[in-house]
Structure 1
Amino acid sequence: MLCALSGEAPQEPVVSKLSGAVFEKRLIEKYIEENGKDPVSGEDLTLDDLLVIRSPSVVRPRPPTLSSIPAMLAAFQNEWDAVALETYSIRQDLNRVREELATALYQHDAAVRVIARLMKERDEARDALSKVTVSAGSAGAGDAMTLDPESLPEDLVAKVDEFHARLSKTRKKRTIPQGTATAEDVASFAVSATNSLPVPQATTVSVSEGYAAVGGLQGDVAIYSIDSDTVERSLQVNEPVTNSIWDGTRVYFATSKGSVKVFENGSEIASFSDHAGPVTGLSIHPSKEILASIGSDKSFVFYDLVNLRRVRRVFTNSVFTTCAFHPDGHLFVCGTNSGEITAYFTTTGLEGASFTLGAPVQAIAFSENGYWFAATGKGQTTVTIFDLRKSGDAAQAKVLDTGSAVQSLAWDESQQFLATGGPSGVTVQHYNKSAKSWSEPLRAAVSAIDVQWTANANKLVAVNGDGVISVLTAKE
């Protein structure tokens, strides 16, 4: 009796029920564990299909083929040949695996290149979309005219024209309101109240009827009572706030995530997400029915505040940094990161005039006289007064040097006082209309990233980056 696997006499013989073949028990068990089949018949075989053969122990004789040295040498030669054949087979398998790996690596590299090309094409398409222009020979300027796929609704066009006609007629006859602070009052301004608000990384302050809204990069907004020096409530914008406007019962917030949010009586009533990047500025039309927003996506958007909907979006070839409506509402002026200041017609969205500041525009503020606006650039210590009635270098009516970097500007309604705010302090530049001269009645060491006047220029509100608000008023 010989084992069907080893060809030798088994020490623990078993027989398969399926094929009837005899096997060494340890060999057939290992074979079943690896293959699960009968090595003779090829049928499925389990350990239960094996029967143990009871037989007397057999003394295994020495194989006759290994009884002499020549026979052993022949056996060694056969073993060597088998090892050589197995080594050759292994080398063939290794070369095949290497070829498969090289193919896989080539396919992966090709896929990465395709993805990179598609991402580049996507970015180029986005950039081209943000620079869509139409060439037009306008009044010899030869500049590109902005493409405006959306027209302003007729009712808003009529509203803009109406306010322009009405306000421009009365502007020259406009007198300084009674109760407005005098230059002597402003010169005596001192900090009457200061409060650390729960708004870390503050960025903006807006003022209305004795209250101030302070927003920051963590999405927190504090409503501060200027008269009582207390925080009355807080709002959650839930996005980093970059700019704000308070008008009547509504507060408008711009965020770095491309949103413009409208809050009324402490609750959010509308949210717009028309910008592909951070919203960098807000401005409200004198009619209070149009809100404008600008963004780093090279576009500006107009919103209908009556129906709370977007009514116009205009793409340009410049990244906007700040903006302001003309006091008559017929112009919308935007500053860019290239140092250009461009005036667009509100009704058409087309470019009307441009001015050069020489540095990325940080802030713009209009005088109520209707033909002056102030602008300052990033890192500049000067404020340039531009005259809308002139062009080129002649448009720079005055350059005021504050001696320290300016981050924000605010012109009061009497068109006399221009406040500047920066990390080194607050100044007020005074224009004497009768003498046609400028002076600096106030310089206060109050750090400010944003400043705003209250009604009649009776108070100046400043907030710094740590959320500390300071109120400057005339000494009694």
Structure 2
Amino acid sequence: MLCALSGEVPEEPVVSRKTGAVFEKRLIEKYIQENHKEPGTDEELDVEDLLPIKTNRIVRPRPPQFTSLPSMLKAFQDEWDALVLESYNTRQQLARTREELATALYQNDAAVRVIARLTKERDEAREALSRLTVTASAGGAATGDAMAVDSEGLPEALAAHVDEVQAEKQKGRKKRPVPEGWATTEDISALQQTAYTDLPVTQATSLALNGGYAAVGGLDGKVDLYSVEAKAHERSLEVGEPVTATVWIGNKVVSATSKGSVKAVEGGVETGSVTEHAGAVTGLAVHPGEQILASVGVDKGIIFYDLQSLQRVARVYTDAELTSCAFHPDGHLFAAGTQSGQIEIFDTKTLQRMANFTLGAPVKTLVFSENGFWFAATGVGQSSVTIFDLRKEGDAARAKELQTGDVSGLAWDYTGQYLATAGSQGVTVQQYVKASKSWTEPLRTSTPAVAVQWGDKARQLVAVSKEGVVSVLEPKSE
């Protein structure tokens, strides 16, 4: 009896119930474990299907080929030939594998290059599209819609208004004294939390102050009105879209939304709504003359509106997504922060780019100082506020870097002395002492906030946290 697998006499023979073939037990068990079939057939075979065969123990004689030196040399030569042949076959398989791998790598590299080129073409097409807008032609239905590039300056009447406001503000600033009763350093140091009110708004994003009322916008699509004097929630204004920015214009609350809308509400009634941005609006700013409203958005667009009609009067596109904006206190300059970390300065009348400052990180917020020369800005991931000087360029424009911790909101007081910051680590006040040309920090609190605004005569700070909690900070005596 010979094993059907090895062709040798089995030491522990077993026979298959299904075919009657004889196998060496250890060999057939290993084969079944790997293949679950009987060798040479497709029939399922289990260990239980094997029957042991009882035989007498036989001492196998030495194979005849190993009984002499010539036969042993012949056997060794045969084994060497087999080994050489196997090595040759292995080298052939390795060469084929290398060729297949090289082909696969080449195809992968080509695919990556094609994807990169298509992605670049897509981004260029999107950028070109963001600079275009569909405007109705005079012919209406006869000629259809025309594609035009918008880069509009202000109308003559509003341009003249900008000049008037600039002349008035510049003239008054040079000789403007600190108002009587304005907060001193001691007053700022004495500020402490006197009110802590949880508003209905969830995920607060913005804060605007007008007299004794604060407007807090949130991602829930509402703007909550808060009475600072009564330290209580008054009512909620329904916007209907997630609010990203809020400003006061007289008694009117204007809100920007993540869906590209700018909406005005007065007396609880919506008085105007316009959608000019192709994407979220990220910032609002009011011109000092209060006849022009500006908005910026992720579509890289800057849009100016006539506040009487809330209609677009000027527009320009930049090279990067815009994150924040502010008017110069004289109104003749407009600043826009970008996602690329640049701060672009534009002429308000023509919307021509006048200057560029580098912050080094996506701009979170920026605000101009009332001294007319400085503006403060902070970026994503930064733990400081950078003061820029408009009169200088490059690195020389960085007048000061204030270590405040992370900041999401900035507010400069009317005199240009105090800069309030709001962040997750708390509210601080940075003071510039003109006599010594130095900076001090008269106040640092642990009140977390996303936005902060100055109250009457800088004797009050109003801040709101991300959770919609309004905090009022006042001196003990008040």
- Alpha-carbon displacement from aligned partner over 1:440-463 (angstroms, at most 9, x marks no partner): 000000000111111311210110
Does the aligned pair in 2 maintain the 1:361–1:378 contact within 8 Å?
yes
Partner of 1:338: 340
Does 1:472 find its partner at 2:476? no
Q: Which amino acid aligns with 1:214?
A: V
Does 1:448 find its partner at 2:435? no
Aligned residue runs from structure 1 range 274-285, under 5 A: 274-285=276-287
Provide TM-score, normalisation by structure 2: 0.70
Partner of 1:408: 409
- Alpha-carbon displacement from aligned partner over 1:313-336 (angstroms, at most 9, x marks no partner): 111111111100000000000110
- Structure 1 residue 213: deviation in Å? 0.7
- Alpha-carbon displacement from aligned partner over 1:235-282 (angstroms, at most 9, x marks no partner): 000100001011311111010000011111221101110000100000
Whole-angstrom distance in 2 between the partners of 1:459 and 1:162 = 32
Does 1:153 find its partner at 2:155? yes
Whole-angstrom distance in 1 between the partners of 2:475 and 2:422 = 18
Does the aligned pair in 2 maintain the 1:130–1:317 contact within 8 Å?
no
Partner of 1:295: 297
Partner of 1:260: 262
Partner of 2:85: none
Q: Which amino acid aligns with 2:403?
A: D
- Alpha-carbon displacement from aligned partner over 1:64-94 (angstroms, at most 9, x marks no partner): xxxxxxxxxxxxxxxxxxxxxxxxxxxxxxx
Whole-angstrom distance in 2 between the partners of 1:259 and 1:321 = 15
Whole-angstrom distance in 1 between the partners of 2:354 and 2:209 = 31
> What's the secondary structure of 2:366's corresponding residue?
strand
Partner of 1:432: 433
Whole-angstrom distance in 1 between the partners of 2:381 and 2:172 = 37
- Structure 1 residue 307: deviation in Å? 2.6
> What's the secondary structure of 1:275's corresponding residue?
coil
Does 1:421 find its partner at 2:422? yes
Does the aligned pair in 2 maintain the 1:412–1:453 contact within 8 Å?
yes
Question: Which structure is larger by alpha-carbon Rg, 1 or 2?
Answer: 1
Does the aligned pair in 2 maintain the 1:283–1:291 contact within 8 Å?
yes
Q: Which amino acid aligns with 2:217?
A: G
Aligned residue runs from structure 1 range 109-258, under 5 A: 125-130=125-130, 148-258=150-260
Q: Which amino acid aligns with 2:129?
A: L
Whole-angstrom distance in 2 between the partners of 1:231 and 1:443 = 26
Partner of 1:96: none
- Alpha-carbon displacement from aligned partner over 1:117-147 (angstroms, at most 9, x marks no partner): x999887543213257xxxxxxxxxxxxxx7
Partner of 1:386: 388
Q: Which amino acid aligns with 1:398?
A: K
Does the aligned pair in 1 maintain the 2:203–2:467 contact within 8 Å?
yes
Q: Which amino acid aligns with 1:244?
A: T
Whole-angstrom distance in 2 between the partners of 1:262 and 1:466 = 24
Q: Which amino acid aligns with 1:289?
A: Q
Report sequence identity in percent: 57
Whole-angstrom distance in 2 between the partners of 1:241 and 1:307 = 21
Whole-angstrom distance in 1 between the partners of 2:270 and 2:213 = 18
Whole-angstrom distance in 2 between the partners of 1:280 and 1:231 = 26
Whole-angstrom distance in 1 between the partners of 2:222 and 2:345 = 33
Q: Which amino acid aligns with 2:198?
A: S
Does the aligned pair in 2 maintain the 1:262–1:269 contact within 8 Å?
yes
Partner of 1:309: 311
Whole-angstrom distance in 2 between the partners of 1:471 and 1:422 = 15
Aligned residue runs from structure 1 range 455-466, under 5 A: 455-466=456-467
> What's the secondary structure of 1:373's corresponding residue?
strand
Does the aligned pair in 1 maintain the 2:303–2:314 contact within 8 Å?
yes
Give the aligned CA root-mean-square deviation in angstroms. Answer: 1.8
Question: Which consecutive unaligned segments of at least 5 residues does structure 2 have?
Answer: 1-117, 133-148
Mark the CA change 1:157 to 1:176 in structure 2 (over 3 Å): closer, same or farther.
same
> What's the secondary structure of 2:223's corresponding residue?
strand
- Structure 1 residue 308: deviation in Å? 2.3
Q: Which amino acid aligns with 1:280?
A: T
Whole-angstrom distance in 2 between the partners of 1:395 and 1:120 = 34
> What's the secondary structure of 2:427's corresponding residue?
strand
Mark the CA change 1:434 to 1:148 in structure 2 (over 3 Å): closer, same or farther.
farther
Does the aligned pair in 2 maintain the 1:462–1:469 contact within 8 Å?
yes
Deviates more, 1:189-198 or 1:428-437: 428-437
- How many residues are paired up? 345
Question: Which consecutive unaligned segments of at least 5 residues does structure 1 have?
Answer: 1-117, 133-146
- Structure 1 residue 172: deviation in Å? 1.4
> What's the secondary structure of 1:393's corresponding residue?
helix
Q: Which amino acid aligns with 1:445?
A: S
Whole-angstrom distance in 2 between the partners of 1:252 and 1:393 = 36
Partner of 2:355: 353
> What's the secondary structure of 1:164's corresponding residue?
helix
- Alpha-carbon displacement from aligned partner over 1:81-120 (angstroms, at most 9, x marks no partner): xxxxxxxxxxxxxxxxxxxxxxxxxxxxxxxxxxxxx999
Whole-angstrom distance in 1 between the partners of 2:151 and 2:384 = 38
Whole-angstrom distance in 1 between the partners of 2:273 and 2:241 = 12
> What's the secondary structure of 1:348's corresponding residue?
coil
Does the aligned pair in 2 maintain the 1:342–1:351 contact within 8 Å?
yes
Mark the CA change 1:148 to 1:393 in structure 2 (over 3 Å): closer, same or farther.
farther
Whole-angstrom distance in 1 between the partners of 2:123 and 2:375 = 37
Partner of 1:41: none
Q: Which amino acid aligns with 2:439?
A: W
Does the aligned pair in 2 maintain the 1:293–1:300 contact within 8 Å?
yes
Whole-angstrom distance in 2 between the partners of 1:272 and 1:120 = 33
The list of structure 1 runs, each at least 4 consecutive aligned residues, that deviate by more than 3 angstroms after superposition, is 118-126
Provide TM-score, normalisation by structure 1: 0.70
Does the aligned pair in 2 maintain the 1:430–1:439 contact within 8 Å?
yes
- Alpha-carbon displacement from aligned partner over 1:258-312 (angstroms, at most 9, x marks no partner): 0011111221101110000100000000000000000000011000012321101
Does the aligned pair in 2 maintain the 1:131–1:317 contact within 8 Å?
no
Q: Which amino acid aligns with 1:328?
A: D
Partner of 2:109: none
Partner of 2:105: none
